[in-house]
Amino acid sequence: MIKGLIKEYSNNIVKERLITKGIDPKILEPIAVKTENIASQSKMAGSFLAFIGPMLLTLWTATGGIGAAVDLAAGEKERGTLEPLLTTSTSRLSIMAGKYLAVTAMVLLSAVASLLGLFASFALNKDMASLNTDFKMGTTAIVIMFVAAFLQLQYLLL
């Protein structure tokens, strides 16, 4: 930042000296580069959604079942219900599978609810997040997002 300020100050001194000598300061920049975004607003919105969507889906999948997982482990230990559960005739593998399926169900429910909320918010509010675009997503893309959430869940839980 300081280098930039010094460079700007130096350029101003050079321009002032050129002006006092009667020389046009534009001579120092023979080629001007102009940056222009040629993407449409809907393409920019699509790019934004392509970036933020998977990240949100990952967060929703990872955090959706934390409450259920914590309650099924530490909550049972605190309530004193884990030891009686382990003394029943049910196998430990069945208990673990039940807890795993309960957390899986909660994570999937959370991811589905979050995705439905995202789709509804874009469908009901066209100007959401200053994205002036018509949000349209095909059923194939929606199914792929739900499958990705499920596969991601399996990866996170293993």
- Tens-place pLDDT, residues 75-85: 888 888 888 88
pLDDT > 70 fraction of the chain, expressed in percent and rounded: 87
Residue 94, pLDDT > 60, answer yes
**Averaged pLDDT, 56-82:** 84
Q: Note the residue count of the chain.
A: 158
- Output the pTM of the full model: 0.55
Assign 6 a pLDDT band (cuts: 50, 70, 90). Answer: very high
Q: Provide the token pair at 116.
A: 């439905």
Highest mean pLDDT of the ranges 30-44, 114-128, 144-158: 30-44
> In Å, how far from its chain's centre is CA 26?
45
> Which residues contact residue 27 at a Cβ distance below 8 angstroms, ignoring those fewer than 6 apart?
18
Assign 130 a pLDDT band (cuts: 50, 70, 90). Answer: low
**Averaged pLDDT, 45-72:** 81
**Averaged pLDDT, 5-24:** 91
Alpha-carbon distances, residue 77 vs 80, 89, 90 (angstroms): 5, 19, 18
* Residue 17 pLDDT: 92
Specify the 3-state DSSP secondary structure of 125: coil
DSSP 8-state code for residue 73: I
* Residue 5 pLDDT: 92
In tens, the pLDDT along 24-46 reads: 888 888 787 888 888 877 777 77
